[in-house]
Chain A
Amino acid sequence: MGWLGPQEWEAVALSLRVSFWATLVSLPLGIFMAHALARWSFPGKQVLNGLVHLPLILPPVVTGYLLLLTFGTKGPIGSVLQDLGIVLAFRWTGAALAAGVMGFPLMVRAIRLSIEAVDPKLEQAASTLGASRPWVFATVTLPLILPGIIAGSILGFAKAMGEFGATITFVSNIPGETRTVPSAIYAFLQVPGGESSAMRLVVVSVVVAMGALLLSEWLARRAAKRMSG
């Protein structure tokens, strides 16, 4: 990538890595949460629903600070993880956690909508044909909500690529470790002569976002075509 300078390339590679892991790790949890919110009734469901959506409406800086309090080395979960040898604060893994948390509500929303669109009568039919609950989910529900899962993943990924406030509050802006594309753009704009670097990263951001959108459209169309073919 001769077009991008080493620092810029570092930021792009880090952002892709952070977003990839943020999406991959939060996806199973997102599917589970969407299924629980769409299909189960349990006490405290509304509270859980609120918690999932909280990062969407809280100022990102507040979410980042809460993450620091919880997952920092002195925080209740962070100290336990540290004893196990896992440190999140001021590491790229922490950036992935922040990006995942911020993208989670968008992901859950998209998947939940697709689960609510699945006719429970089809799942009943599968159970009368001998499929246990996990198998009904794997053979009927999951394939039917695939377009929603794809949409949710891409939304989550795009959100992770753009996440700034929670990331910089939780894991700061360390080159090569936590300086993702948005942090890098911000940093380049703080120094004289950094505008051209910032501009190149802006172009990269636009291309990645556009590519993600086109990919999701294409995948959704393919899924719809498979159903009617």
Chain B
Amino acid sequence: MTLSVDIRHAFGDFTLDVSFEAPPGLTVLFGRSGSGKSTVINAVAGLLSPETGRITVEGKTLFDRAQGIDLAPHRRGLGYVFQEGRLFPHMTVRQNLMFSRWFRKGARSDFHEVVEMLGIGALLDRRPLALSGGEKQRVAIGRALLGDPRIILADEPLAALDEPRKAEILPYFERLRDEVSVPILYVSHSATEVARLATTVVTLENGRVTGQGPATGILGDPMLTPLGARAAGAVLETKVARHHDDGLTELSAGGVALFVPRVAQQVGQPLRIRIAAQEVILSRSRPEGLSALNILPGQITTIRSGAGPGALVSVATPAGILLARITQRSARLLDLTEGASCYAIVKSVAIAPEDVGGPDRVSKAL
């Protein structure tokens, strides 16, 4: 099951011209606000009719300007999770969840299973106004799921939540990605969400696709930093090796040991971590007497200098590609050039807990 999108649309002096494929798993449309992410997702939903192009899901055409096909939203088989939840205030949680069942009689997904997975069993008789932001979003996810959608759309579903609520909802999207077989198209401008959730990343800039591919490849590419170098960071695929008594967890990444603050995952489980480029220090020689625990040997693959004083350096290490944000002056003083060998240093506590994600079984299976 794959979603394929190829559309062009102009409004005012903004032109959207995108073409991408979203394979099974979770595809993040990644870019800053105004890059056209929401326009794309609304075109897939049928809430906006592009000037030209074609949108198909697993061979079914939702939109094709040339053939004059433009299915109404209610005929597209969607499950859409909106930023603000958009629960119906005049219905109970149960009625909200069952809403799509009135129109899609054939829906077979198990009500109790979905309710249990989202932990909303105690809320069923409440009304949306009496729910917290996180509870509302969980109900919204359940409501989208219970209609047996062909595709799940999520438009910045965490953007309206505070940090603790975000941390509460993220794992549900991880489960969705791993347990649901339909493609999920997820709009976000948060590098953390991309690192945690994405099977595939499509980066958007000014209405154009600037890159698409697996999350690790796209996020490690210094040429693709849709949010600017300040928010850049690379994603590493690791495995939990050991939990230590001093509150640290040892991860194994390509044979290299990485220490991070204790994670909940069990030994042997795969784990994705995101390391922000500004938390990485580079050194030409192996540093001695340093408090940082993670020192990775590597080779510089690219150096990208921006307009300011900074440079974004990507380093190929046995653990994967790391991004380091340093000054151009340091690069000059250390004589860092493409191909030069160096050491990347990362403080354990610099790896933020919200950047440590669960296993991604779908991308493993691909």
Q: Residues on A close to B: CB < 8 A?
A: 119, 121-122, 124-132, 135, 139-140, 143-144, 226-229
- Given contacts A121-B86, A143-B90, A227-B129, whether A128 and B78 have CB atoms under 8 Å apart is yes
Complex CA–CA separation, A130 to B127 (angstroms): 22
Interface pair A135/B103, CB less than 8 Å apart: yes
Complex CA–CA separation, A130 to B80 (angstroms): 11
Q: When the two chains form the complex, which single residue of B89, B100, B130 contacts A129, counting CB atoms closer than 8 Å?
A: B100
With a cutoff of 8 Å between Cβ atoms, the chain A residues found around residue B99 in the complex are 126, 129, 131, 139
Interface pair B73/A127, CB less than 8 Å apart: yes
Those of B122-165 within 8 Å (CB) of chain A: 127, 129-130, 143-144, 147, 153
Interface pair A132/B72, CB less than 8 Å apart: yes
Chain A residue at smallest Cβ distance from B90 = A143
Chain A residue at smallest Cβ distance from B84 = A121
Interface pair A129/B103, CB less than 8 Å apart: yes
Contact with A along B93-137 (1 / 0, CB 8 A): 000000110111000000000000000000000010110000000
Q: When the two chains form the complex, which single residue of A122, A124, A135, A228 contacts B129, counting CB atoms closer than 8 Å?
A: A228
Please give the distance in Å from A149's CB to the nearest CB on chain B: 13
With a cutoff of 8 Å between Cβ atoms, the chain A residues found around residue B86 in the complex are 119, 121-122, 124-125
Q: When the two chains form the complex, which single residue of B72, B82, B90, B127 contacts A125, counting CB atoms closer than 8 Å?
A: B82
| A to B CB contacts below 8 Å, 24 in the list | A122-B86, A122-B89, A125-B80, A125-B82, A125-B86, A125-B88, A126-B99, A128-B76, A128-B80, A129-B74, A129-B78, A129-B143, A130-B102, A130-B103, A130-B147, A131-B74, A132-B74, A135-B102, A139-B102, A227-B90, A227-B127, A227-B129, A228-B129, A228-B130
In the complex, whether B346 has a CB less than 8 A from a CB of chain A is no
With a cutoff of 8 Å between Cβ atoms, the chain B residues found around residue A128 in the complex are 45, 47, 73-74, 76, 78-80, 153
Give the size of the chain B interface in residues (CB under 8 angstroms): 28
With a cutoff of 8 Å between Cβ atoms, the chain B residues found around residue A140 in the complex are 88, 90
Chain A residue at smallest Cβ distance from B126 = A229
- Given contacts A122-B88, A228-B129, whether A127 and B104 have CB atoms under 8 Å apart is no
Those of B40-82 within 8 Å (CB) of chain A: 45, 47, 72-74, 76-80, 82
Interface pair A124/B88, CB less than 8 Å apart: no
Interface pair B104/A130, CB less than 8 Å apart: yes
Additional A-B contacts beyond A126-B99, A128-B47, A131-B103 (19; CB < 8 A): A119-B86, A122-B88, A124-B86, A125-B80, A125-B88, A128-B73, A128-B80, A129-B79, A129-B143, A129-B147, A130-B77, A130-B100, A131-B99, A135-B103, A140-B88, A143-B90, A227-B127, A227-B129, A228-B127
Chain B residue at smallest Cβ distance from A143 = B90
Please give the distance in Å from A128's CB to the nearest CB on chain B: 4
Complex CA–CA separation, A127 to B100 (angstroms): 9
Please give the distance in Å from A227's CB to the nearest CB on chain B: 5
Chain B residue at smallest Cβ distance from A128 = B80
Complex CA–CA separation, A135 to B129 (angstroms): 23
Contact with A along B20-35 (1 / 0, CB 8 A): 0000000000000000
Interface pair A126/B129, CB less than 8 Å apart: no
Complex CA–CA separation, A128 to B78 (angstroms): 6
Interface pair A144/B89, CB less than 8 Å apart: yes
Please give the distance in Å from A228's CB to the nearest CB on chain B: 5
With a cutoff of 8 Å between Cβ atoms, the chain A residues found around residue B77 in the complex are 130
Complex CA–CA separation, A132 to B104 (angstroms): 11
Complex CA–CA separation, A144 to B99 (angstroms): 16
Please give the distance in Å from B228's CB to the nearest CB on chain A: 30
Among B76, B79, B103, B143, which residue has the most Cβ atoms of chain A within 10 A? Answer: B103
